[in-house]
Amino acid sequence: KAGVTQTPRYLIKTRGQQVTLSCSPISGHRSVSWYQQTPGQGLQFLFEYFSETQRNKGNFPGRFSGRQFSNSRSEMNVSTLELGDSALYLCASSPSQGQYGYTFGSGTRLTVV
């Protein structure tokens, strides 16, 4: 079956702009989590969505937001982009809320200039 699909794969934005990233989970998976990966900070948890509701949130400023649709697809949005937001943004899906069965997508590489 198809894996986790993230679009776009690469993105270049200018400081101050906003960006929306998309994640389509594995068919049947209802939980979607987002992570930011940078060389300095590693993999950091952004948030988790299940049944269209945010269930958990990491320590990121309010500029980072997300949502989940009724078909379990998820989007995350970053407003007022800063240079430090340059990172690989990873989405992971799992069958249900909880820890098992996390499958990651290949990520969206965001570069802020």
Residues engaged in binding another protein (CB under 8 A): 4, 33, 35, 42-43, 45, 48, 56, 58, 90, 92, 99-100, 102-107
Min dist CB 18 to another protein, Å, is: 24
What is the 8-class DSSP label of residue 82?
-
Min dist CB 44 to another protein, Å, is: 8
Read off the tokens for 59: 């320590």
Nearest to 46 by CA among 110, 2, 101, 113: 110
Q: Which is nearer to another protein, 55 or 79 (CB)?
A: 55
Question: What distance in Å separates the CA atoms of residue 62 and residue 88, rounded to the nearest whole number?
Answer: 19
Q: Which is nearer to another protein, 75 or 79 (CB)?
A: 75
